[in-house]
Chains A and B, each alone.
Chain A
Amino acid sequence: MTAELGHYALVLALSVALVQATIPLLGAWRGDSGWIGLARPAALVQCVLVMTAFGALMYAYLTSDFSVLNVAANSHSAKPLLYKISGVWGNHEGSLLLWLLILVLFGAAVAVFGGNLPAPFRARVLAVQAMIAVGFLTFVLFTSNPFERLLPAPIDGRGLNPLLQDPGLAFHPPFLYLGYVGFSMAFSFAVAALIEGRVDAAWARWVRPWTLAAWCFLTLGIALGSWWAYYELGWGGWWFWDPVENASFMPWLAGTALLHSSIVVEKRDSLKNWTVLLAILTFSLSLLGTFLVRSGVLTSVHAFATDPARGVFILAFLIVVIAGSLTLYAVRAPAMKGGGLFSPVSREGGLVLNNLLLATACATVLLGTLYPLFLDAVTGEKITVGPPFFNMTFGPLMVPLLIAMAVGPMLPWKRGDLLGALQRLKFAIAATVAALLLTLVLAFDGPWLAIPGMALGVWIIAAALEEAAHRLRLFRVPIGESMRRLLRSPRAAWGTTFAHAGAGMVIIGIVASTAWQVEKLQVLRKGESVAVGAYAFKFEGATPVAGPNYAAVRGTFRVSRNGMEVAIMQPESRNYQDPPMDTTEAAIRTGWGGDLYAVIGDPTGDGSWSTRFYNKPMIHWIWMGALFMVFGGLFSLSDRRHRVGAPARRDVLAKAAKTAASMAGK
């Protein structure tokens, strides 16, 4: 009964979405306030309906209702509660329903919090959102119905892939989708602005918080995914340039560019056409990501769907959305004229450079991801585009970007002085030189690329800190004055500091863990030990253990350094029954200096076991850095400037913005 209720709610949601996609748009065109006013309640009703459907599916999973095909195929009564919940989106149909849920939640958020948007504009935004919803609802209802019944119901379900039964992966898809779908807001705002033919600072100010929120979620989603790969897949690889990873990375690159270019629109009324185009492209890449993963075009750990009929539908939808929005762009964009002028060496110029390199990098990833499909389709030739290609092409593009991202925030708007900016970064330069010399001394035999690599990371962090020190006028004015400045300076600027420093941390983590990793493969007998760098691992034997839905062998290793015991590590190799599958559960010990990583494999038959050990220096900086970036984004989001729906403050803000704009313009 609940499944039918959910199905029915989806059908109703589709009809509401159809109304919401058309009537408010016509109303805004005709100036009919009644029709315009329909957008808000429609968005709310649609949200309630999709929530009902999602709740119905969740209920079916929680009660293990195996008469629902989706539940029977992906769940099992013995599965822990968390994975019953995450099982809802651990499959094709359910994950699409999650996509839809997030889409309508964003729509409802505009309806509720978009009070300061002009009503016709809000109606257009919501209409565009509803158009996307129509596409996805049709897709779910006609090709991927999660509420299909299976009669007679089986006694138990087939279970969830054990690799996916993991807390990191339980929350990975929701965050990723919050990111993907969050960019639909930028898209809807861009299309609505194109329909109106007006893009200005106010538009950028409305778009920025949504883009920023989407970017934070996407960053977190990608970080969770790579963390999961690190401890669950193979032995400690965290990024494989897998097409599915690339599918999430491309919107991230484009979204990062969008985040930066929209600053220029907001502050300087320039780069408008490009920003609108970027908003369209970012969401198109999010859709492409969904298409790549969901259509079965790629086969990879995330690709649950293998039905080509679905692929054709998504491809058609993709073409309609991208071609439609780009046509609208081609018609409307030439009429929009950019405002503020600036020289190439200026804050704006720095942001243009950022966009240039991010867009090129994004295009490179797109080429590398799609080229094997393209070549296969055209010539039937099969090739693999693996990490070496991306390291060789993507890597060099990132170097100038990373060097420049330290200088950009030091440049003034309109026209800057590069030498002056570098002079203001003298401490950062000194720190970078020190880091260069220190790595040279400490790791004279290390891979030579690691030395500039570490220095680059230090450069970004030190420059971010020095820029913040300039903002506070630290040590130039009395400390009390600096504290006052700390409280008064805009949070968005601090967001930049955190996020940029986080990027530097990611670089350091990547460089150090790649360059100085120590790896040991060894067949060990009970009582034997092996040296891994400065650490000794002593094998204390292996014992069978029973988990809630698996059986395992657990190895025990005593880890010591200079004769002092530092840890006991217990990796497992697990054998799941529903579905039957073997997985390795690495034991990871995170210390200040990095991670120790231990894997236990097969018994060799004569009482010894094959094992793998790693010492991965500073690898945790990668995820700490990502968290810093997310924190920076959230902190910037809390800036009062971004807070929407505060009408009382609006006049003051508008006046302040006007004064600022007129002063900047003169």
Chain B
Amino acid sequence: MLMAVLRSLLLALCLLGSVAPAWSIAVDTPLDDPVLEARARAIHKQLRCLVCQNQSIEDSNATLARDLRVLVRERITAGDSDDAALSFIVDRYGDWVLLQPPVKSGTMVLWLGPALFLILAIVSIAVWYRRRPSPVVAATTPLSADEQARLKALLGDGDPV
């Protein structure tokens, strides 16, 4: 988002004095065919806005996001399949535009990480539980004669407690 702001700011500063800033709120025109529009929207949700952080182009009101939405709609109208339209964009901008990083050698650690964390956490807690004395044993082991005597002394001999 901020980059969007900064860029438009920069642009506006460059143009200051020559052109008045135009109205450019990026709410766009949907396709007439609801089936095609739904397909385009599903693709929009997978692509990141180039100038915002982690917002899909579907969710962003940046001008560049609108341009990309228009591009996707064009590809879909031109008869591209969903995969073809998506790879059309990815070929031009790289894996970076995909909100869901593809599974490949470079992202193995990322995708396996959470599962490894969970296993590590479960194992370490299991080991920790195992290594400490069991509360069941501690609770059921009868007191030795010494301990009985101490308990009696502590509770006050003969007093009902």
Contacts and interface: CB of A to CB of B under 8 A. Distances in A.
B54 A384 contact: yes
Sort chain B's interface into a size bin: 35 or more
Interface in B19-59: 21, 23-30, 46, 48, 52-56, 59
Contacts of B53: 240, 242-244, 298-301
The winner among B5, B25, B100 for most chain A CB atoms within 10 A is B25
Contact of A234 (B60, B96, B118): B60
B107 A299 contact: no
A241 B30 CA distance: 27
A342 B135 CA distance: 6
Contacts of B78: none
Contacts of B30: 521-523
Given A234-B61, A298-B53, A582-B21, A385 B1 contact: no
Nearest to A523: B29
Contacts of B56: 386-387
B25 A387 contact: no
A384 B98 contact: yes
A385 B60 CA distance: 17
A576 B111 CA distance: 43
A522 B98 CA distance: 27
Interface string B1-25: 1110100110010001000010111
A117 interface: no
A235 interface: yes
A519 B111 CA distance: 32
A382 to B, nearest CB: 4
B129 A344 contact: yes
Nearest to A573: B25
B84 interface: no
A338 B56 CA distance: 48
Main secondary structure of the interface of A (DSSP, over half): mixed
Interface in A229-247: 233-235, 237, 240-244
Nearest to B15: A580
A387 B53 CA distance: 11
A565 interface: no
Given A602-B27, A610-B27, A611-B27, A385 B101 contact: yes
B25 A389 contact: no
A607 interface: no
B95 interface: yes
A582 B5 contact: no
A545 to B, nearest CB: 14
Nearest to A386: B99
A298 B1 CA distance: 12
Nearest to A576: B21
The winner among A235, A240, A575, A599 for most chain B CB atoms within 10 A is A240
A473 interface: no
Nearest to A391: B100
A336 interface: no
Contact of B2 (A302, A386, A394): A302
Contacts of B27: 521, 584, 599-602, 610-612
B54 A581 contact: no
B136 interface: yes
Contact of A414 (B52, B97, B117, B135): B135
A342 B132 CA distance: 10
A161 B106 CA distance: 37
B99 A384 contact: yes
B125 interface: yes
A664 interface: no
B114 A397 contact: yes
A371 B109 CA distance: 9
Interface string B122-138: 10010001001111101
Nearest to B62: A234
Contacts of A244: 53
Interface string A358-400: 0110011001100100010001011111111100011001000
B125 A352 contact: yes
Interface in B78-125: 94-101, 106-107, 109-110, 113-114, 117-118, 121-122, 125
Contacts of B139: 415
A236 to B, nearest CB: 8
B101 A359 contact: no
Given A240-B53, A575-B21, A388 B107 contact: no
A356 interface: yes
B5 A163 contact: yes
Given A242-B54, A243-B54, A343-B136, A385 B110 contact: yes
Nearest to A415: B135
A303 interface: yes
B54 A240 contact: yes
B25 A341 contact: no
Contacts of A300: 1-3, 52-54
Contact of A393 (B97, B114, B135): B114
A235 B25 CA distance: 12
B1 A233 contact: yes
Given A371-B110, A382-B95, A360 B118 contact: yes
A341 B129 CA distance: 10
A327 interface: no
B55 A237 contact: yes
A604 interface: yes
Contacts of A599: 27
A17 to B, nearest CB: 32
Given A243-B53, A301-B1, A367-B113, A383 B118 contact: no
A163 B1 contact: yes
Contacts of B135: 341-343, 414-415
A581 B118 CA distance: 45
A197 interface: no
A401 to B, nearest CB: 12
Given A415-B139, A523-B29, A573-B23, A382 B94 contact: yes
Interface string A264-299: 000000000000000000000000000000000011
Given A375-B106, A610-B29, A234 B55 contact: yes
A20 to B, nearest CB: 37
Given A360-B118, A522-B30, A601 B25 contact: yes
List of 7 A-B pairs having minimum Cβ-Cβ separation, nearest first = A601-B27, A386-B99, A300-B53, A388-B100, A301-B1, A341-B135, A393-B114
Interface of B: 1-3, 5, 8-9, 12, 16, 21, 23-30, 46, 48, 52-56, 59-61, 94-101, 106-107, 109-110, 113-114, 117-118, 121-122, 125, 129, 132-136, 138-139
Given A383-B96, A579-B12, 14 more contacts: A234-B59, A234-B60, A234-B61, A240-B54, A241-B54, A301-B1, A301-B2, A303-B2, A371-B110, A381-B106, A385-B101, A523-B29, A601-B28, A604-B29
9 contacts: A161-B5, A356-B122, A382-B95, A383-B101, A386-B54, A521-B28, A581-B5, A610-B28, A611-B27
